[in-house]
Structure 1
Amino acid sequence: MKKIACLISLCAMAVSAQEKTNPFSVFGGLESNSTWYMNDPGLNVVHPDPAIRSNNYLFVNGKYKGWTAGIQVESYEDKALLNYNPRYIDTDVATYYVQYKNDMIDITAGYFYEQFGSGLLLRSWEDRQLGINNALRGGRIVFTPWNWLQIKGLYGRQRTGFTVADSDIYGTDLELGLGDIFGFTTTELSIGGSYVGRDQKVLTIPDPNFRDRTDAYAARINFGHGGFYASGEYDYKSDDAVVEKQDQVRNNFVKPGQALLVNMGYTKKGFGIDGTFRRLENMSFYSEREAAKNAFNDRIINYIPGLTKQQHYNLANIYVYQAQPGVAMPDYTVLKAGEIGGQVDIFYNFKKGSKLGGKHGTKIALNYSEWHALSGDYYLPAKDYNVDFLAFGKKYFSEYNVEIDKRWTDRWHTMFAYIHQYNNLKLVQETYDIVNADIVAAETTIKFGKSRSIRVVGEHIWADADKKNWAAGTVEFNVNPKLSFYTNDMWNYGNDDPDARNHYYNFGTAFRYKSIRAALNYGRQRGGLVCVGGVCRFVPESSGLSLSVNAAF
């Protein structure tokens, strides 16, 4: 804990430096997330050793004219929070960089983040809730000689824990604004292309049937006119070893990969429709082949979120869908080489003063998503497959949602949601069961005075398999913009096992003062997938007291 206190002291020193009058500017922040894990006989949970764990991040940046430099120090004391990457341990410098930028050129040396196109080939980013930081350590150049042309080039090694992966990542990306070239005033049109190379020698295979370097290419187009927009991207990954399980690189299963992503929609005031189609085939891509399908999203090069509605209700996130970009052929019941499917979103605002809109208007949102395995021929003994391009195989997942958002008065607001989910857990998570679930949720928010409010949420799920029925409730009380309290509970009352009909309760408070936010929580964590932006990680069941502190300067 002394190291954590040291980080706080460094943060205070940085704030003090900011207050001095000089041509430099200093900015950054401190984030600390700590948990005291406790024994919980009701969940059959025994606290880990050590019981008190903390993830801490101090990042400080300095800027002078076109120059920016920064450093991030991370501390995991005595260990990282449960089910974070075990490579996060102790206290050390995590990332650092120096950047120079003007209107034409942007040069970075050190650690950097980047995304090409949709991210299907390359995206480096940080998400502390998921424990992801796959920054590249090396160099990047972004050259923009005209407003219609941008060229990127990069080289680096990917972060894993406090070191880097044993491979080289190369990349280049070009974006050409045809609308600007031809002087279009009401139409947007651009094309782009990307190349990403991953060079890694597999020492466990003396004479591999695949090259050390894997080449990946992408082409994309974006179009927009009035309220209509459309985009498309095609990606190809050269022949490479198919890794079905972590640390199992085989020499007799080598296949290429490809992806197709199409998005289009139309919006105008009060109405919008958006549709996305995606097909993935063998598109798992890691800086080290052995890291494929690890539980921590460690050393992942590309970004493949689950394209379904991002639910904000607790029970709607029990049977969440995880994208299926890779190959798995463990037995005859699970044969998959990717996914195919999509989703459609529609929203409509009933005008104020109309019958359905009322005095304050009414909003309705509809969403439908459906995902399947790739249809084709799978040869289990020979470890091979031949899939069709646009044919749908066994269904992984489907979901439809209806949300009604209604404001009755200036102080009273309600929402209602109905959700139906189908999840083939046998294929998606390679566990068991097919689950059909119906979920209803209703919430109301009432304001008192200028800033005081109370929010109440009720939820229920009817599921025909797995853990069966749940009920949930939440109450939030905002005393003012600085102070709030909450309590919630999820009760698995319908579990076939009477001893597993558990309550997952939590209660806590949050406080803000200027740029500082502190939150304290006591309760239980339901085991399962936790997803942020469609990317998921597994968390075990646990009980304890948690403290979170965020400060920016």
Structure 2
Amino acid sequence: MKHLFTLTFFLLFYCGLNAQNNARITGNLQTNGNFFIRDSAIGAAGPPQPGPPQYDNQKFGAESWLNLNYSNWGFDIGVRFDLFNNSNLLNPTGSFTDEGIGRWYVHKKIDKFDLSGGFLYDQIGAGIIFRAYEERSLMIDNALKGVKVGYEFNENWKIKAFTGRQKRQFDIYGSVIRGGSLEGFIKPDSTRNLSFAPGAGIVARTYDDETVDRIVNEIASYAPQDSIGAQYNTYAMTVFNTLTAGDFSWYLEGAYKTKDVIFNEFERQANGTTGKLVNTDGYFFYTSFTFAKEGLGVTLEGKYTENFRFRTDPFQIGVQGQINYLPPIARQNTFRLPARFAPNTQELGEQGVQIDARYALSKKISLGLNVADIYNLDGAELYREIAPEITYKKDRKWQAMLGLQFLKYSIGIYQFKDDPEDAEDVLPWVKRGEQNYVDAFTPYTEFLYKFTPRKSLRVEAQYLLTDDEFGSWVNALAEFGWAPHWLIYVSDMYKIPHKNKEDYSPDKVKYDGFHYPSVGVVYTHRANRFSLAFVKQVEGINCAGGICRYEPTFSGVRLNINSSF
């Protein structure tokens, strides 16, 4: 099938070149290369340390994606070649090698019909019951290999239906996924700025026989009181709407999932083992309210999640096999130390609110405030972040930003780490800390100075103050830009030593006194970007859109190439 499609694609490609019928060819290339340099002192080494085997013998890992798109005769055709050589992108502590056709698709619009086949990316609503998408930094590529048919009733109403199976690297999962949605747009009065964008969708997943057999065998190993039933089919339904009224916008979505066999890593079995399969239905609610007018912008979000894990295979963990996407309820920090303790979305249960407000006092001064508060369903706090900011702009010459982050983070839930609380907390406002929580205070600042319209210097610094996990850190970065081609940067993250190391466990003080420097250069020419950097990076959590995973310490050289044509 792969060879047949490739041949067909290039035949169409050749015919298009000869036909000269408004043919259009586009594409892009992304290549990452990692040269691993062993540094066992900071934990950058292979087994038995948590690092990947590249440090010991493979030395180099690479990933590459070459995407080609061709449009002619009303058809859109695409093919993507993926390559992984000793890559630790799939498993940060492992090695993966394979190559082949990672994606192909054919799309055609015929009158009011919209037809697609191949590996498809799409979603329903905010993605709560279905989202097929790609996030390469986390090795997420859950495209649906199947067909999709859409129909436009008119310019305001459309319907779509799809069926297929989910991609799994160069293979596919056995479960069948099918679904559809109806979306519309209503504007009651053309003279008023009032509109509604309602929608509804349903998705069904049918386990294959092999998956059901594994579920049955797993349940058979449980004690009688832990035994559960199982079913082949699970259905998820959602309704959503966006209301726009002048300067206000309000998005609302609610979803329900019928009984589904999922893995709950927090449930205890009768024999004391933590983690087991459960058979339960699920609920999800999400709302977002936005107001923007005359220098003021406010966004308020809230969500409730209960047993809304939705996978093609209940034995898949981490980022693999996800059918849906649950929006995060905390901002994604861009500075290194404020981003160190990021909350990943809790599919089994969480409730939370977030407010983000920005106000321009004048053309020179603006204020910002972000507050996020997340709890589990029993009311125990999982995450709290309060982050005020102030920005000052001096004409077009320079600008400075100062921010503060007050943080409480359940490292026991988010990272499964056991972190005992010290007798006295380093933060004076934390009168009584809690075990397995991180209480941290991080001031951060950024300064941008423009020497000329083409030359600039950006400096940032952060200080993370805590006595939890590994303790306090400082980080600084200087970045010189020479538009439109060059960017050079140097940074260092330093672990502040504990005063009395002998009073702490070896794991808590293992990074004391170590530097984690990075030096890099970026060259950009039109739609081409090349970067080369020497990097030392401490272990931590890497997140994208509320989906997070652990990554071990890295030491080495990174090469990145991005090109569009």
Q: TM-score, normalised by structure 1?
A: 0.85
Distance 1:289 1:271, change over 3 A: same
Distance 1:82 1:42, change over 3 A: farther
Secondary structure, in 3 states, of the residue corresponding to 2:465? Answer: strand
- Looking at structure 1, the residues matched to 553 and 276 of structure 2 have their Cα atoms a distance apart, in angstroms, of 38
Letter in 2 for 1:268: K
Secondary structure, in 3 states, of the residue corresponding to 2:288? Answer: strand
Conserved 8 A contact 2:302-2:329: no
1:370 and 2:373 equivalent? yes
Distance 1:464 1:225, change over 3 A: same
Q: When the two structures are aligned, how many residues end up with a matched partner?
A: 500
Conserved 8 A contact 1:87-1:162: no
Displacement of 1:23 = 2.7
Letter in 2 for 1:315: L
Residue of structure 2 equivalent to 1:193: 200
**Which deviations, in whole Å up to 9, do the C-alpha atoms of 1:306-349 show, x marking residues without a partner?**
321221110001111111112xxxxxxxxxxx001110111101
Distance 1:251 1:534, change over 3 A: closer
Residue of structure 1 equivalent to 2:520: 508
Equivalent of residue 224 in structure 1, options 244, 253, 271: 244
Equivalent of residue 265 in structure 1, options 290, 295, 305: 290
Displacement of 1:493 = 0.9
1:526 and 2:538 equivalent? yes
Displacement of 1:533 = 2.5
Conserved 8 A contact 1:229-1:265: yes
Task: Spell out the pairing of 1:162-311 with structure 2 (5 A cutoff).
Answer: 162-179=170-187, 185-201=192-208, 202-204=212-214, 205=216, 209-245=229-265, 253-291=278-316, 294-295=317-318, 297-311=319-333
Distance 1:409 1:176, change over 3 A: closer
Secondary structure, in 3 states, of the residue corresponding to 2:310? Answer: coil
- Looking at structure 2, the residues matched to 155 and 463 of structure 1 have their Cα atoms a distance apart, in angstroms, of 50
Secondary structure, in 3 states, of the residue corresponding to 1:179? Answer: coil
Displacement of 1:413 = 1.1
Residue of structure 2 equivalent to 1:106: 114
Residue of structure 1 equivalent to 2:556: 544
**Which deviations, in whole Å up to 9, do the C-alpha atoms of 1:432-457 show, x marking residues without a partner?**
22111111111111111220111111
Letter in 2 for 1:489: D
Displacement of 1:429 = 2.6
Conserved 8 A contact 2:21-2:72: no
Conserved 8 A contact 1:209-1:251: no
Secondary structure, in 3 states, of the residue corresponding to 2:174? Answer: coil
Distance 1:20 1:154, change over 3 A: closer
- Looking at structure 1, the residues matched to 117 and 95 of structure 2 have their Cα atoms a distance apart, in angstroms, of 24
Displacement of 1:284 = 0.8
- Looking at structure 1, the residues matched to 540 and 473 of structure 2 have their Cα atoms a distance apart, in angstroms, of 15
- Looking at structure 2, the residues matched to 70 and 109 of structure 1 have their Cα atoms a distance apart, in angstroms, of 11
Distance 1:126 1:87, change over 3 A: farther
Equivalent of residue 322 in structure 1, options 336, 339, 344: 344
- Looking at structure 2, the residues matched to 51 and 275 of structure 1 have their Cα atoms a distance apart, in angstroms, of 47
Residue of structure 1 equivalent to 2:491: 488
Displacement of 1:192 = 1.1
Residue of structure 2 equivalent to 1:146: 154
Q: TM-score, normalised by structure 2?
A: 0.84
Displacement of 1:20 = 11
Conserved 8 A contact 1:177-1:191: yes
- Looking at structure 1, the residues matched to 396 and 234 of structure 2 have their Cα atoms a distance apart, in angstroms, of 58
Secondary structure, in 3 states, of the residue corresponding to 1:319? Answer: coil
- Looking at structure 2, the residues matched to 532 and 26 of structure 1 have their Cα atoms a distance apart, in angstroms, of 30
Residue of structure 2 equivalent to 1:97: 105
Distance 1:102 1:526, change over 3 A: farther
CA RMSD of aligned residues (A): 2.6
Residue of structure 2 equivalent to 1:466: 469
Residue of structure 2 equivalent to 1:358: none
Conserved 8 A contact 2:60-2:86: yes
Secondary structure, in 3 states, of the residue corresponding to 1:299? Answer: coil
Residue of structure 2 equivalent to 1:348: 359
Letter in 2 for 1:145: F
Conserved 8 A contact 1:58-1:72: yes
Equivalent of residue 81 in structure 2, options 73, 79, 85: 73
**Which deviations, in whole Å up to 9, do the C-alpha atoms of 1:323-378 show, x marking residues without a partner?**
1112xxxxxxxxxxx001110111101123xxxxxxxx211111100000102xxx
Identity of aligned residues (%): 24
Displacement of 1:305 = 3.9
Equivalent of residue 410 in structure 1, options 396, 401, 412: 396
- Looking at structure 2, the residues matched to 455 and 250 of structure 1 have their Cα atoms a distance apart, in angstroms, of 47
Residue of structure 2 equivalent to 1:385: none
Residue of structure 2 equivalent to 1:329: none
1:438 and 2:441 equivalent? yes
Letter in 1 for 2:199: G
**Which deviations, in whole Å up to 9, do the C-alpha atoms of 1:187-244 show, x marking residues without a partner?**
0112211101010041121797122011111111221111112121110010112312
Letter in 2 for 1:524: K
**Which deviations, in whole Å up to 9, do the C-alpha atoms of 1:47-102 show, x marking residues without a partner?**
14411010000000100142100001101114444735979532111110000125
Displacement of 1:549 = 0.5
Which deviates more, 101-110 or 278-287?
Answer: 101-110
- Looking at structure 2, the residues matched to 525 and 369 of structure 1 have their Cα atoms a distance apart, in angstroms, of 27
Distance 1:83 1:178, change over 3 A: same
**Which deviations, in whole Å up to 9, do the C-alpha atoms of 1:398-441 show, x marking residues without a partner?**
00111112111311111111111100112333222211111111
Equivalent of residue 59 in structure 1, options 61, 64, 67: 67
Distance 1:450 1:177, change over 3 A: closer
Task: Spell out the pairing of 1:447-462 with structure 2 (5 A cutoff).
Answer: 447-462=450-465
Distance 1:103 1:417, change over 3 A: farther
Letter in 1 for 2:393: R
Displacement of 1:516 = 1.2
Conserved 8 A contact 2:43-2:553: no
Distance 1:18 1:76, change over 3 A: farther
Structure 2 gap segments, 5+ residues each: 1-8, 46-54, 221-227, 419-435, 502-507
